Amino acid sequence: ILTVSAVEKRSGKKAEIEVIPFHGLTQFEIERIMEDSFEHAIDDFNERQLIEFRQTAERVFRGIEQNWKVAENALSESDRDEILKQMDVVRQSMKGQDSQALKTQLDTLGDLTRPLADTAMGRSILSELQDDANLNQ
């Protein structure tokens, strides 16, 4: 189940040890467990990806909500409507099991909100510069 190897740097001598638990499992059972893990690896990866994309969507939603006042001033009504519609599309995609579809919808939302992020970042930097200028006067 676990193989550990080491090389002694000065002499170059190599040692390796294999740890196999003997908790009542036969070699056949251990092999079956390993085969099962390989068979389910893709499903496990997809499930993990889906969870990560859902978490990303939640963070993106919070960021949009925190900067919505900026959006009201910086973006046209049609741009804001597009963002809100895409947020609904992402929410629907979050209910499904297709991680790639969710990623695609998140990418679209990211493209739509890029001007909002740029404006928010620009305002933040401008505010910091003004604060610094006021302190130096």
Q: What is the pTM of this model?
A: 0.65
Could you state, in order of their start, the residue ranges of all structural domains in the chain?
Answer: 1-39, 49-136
pLDDT 10s digits, 94-107: 999 999 999 999 99
Residues 6+ apart with CB under 8 A from 13: 7
Distances (CA, A) of 71 to 2, 43, 66, 75, 107: 54, 39, 10, 5, 19
Count CB-CB contacts under 10 A for residue 56: 15
Which CATH number is associated with domain 49-136?
1.20.1270.10
Helices then strands, counting H and E runs in the chain, come out as 5, 2
What percent of the chain is predicted at pLDDT more than 70?
91
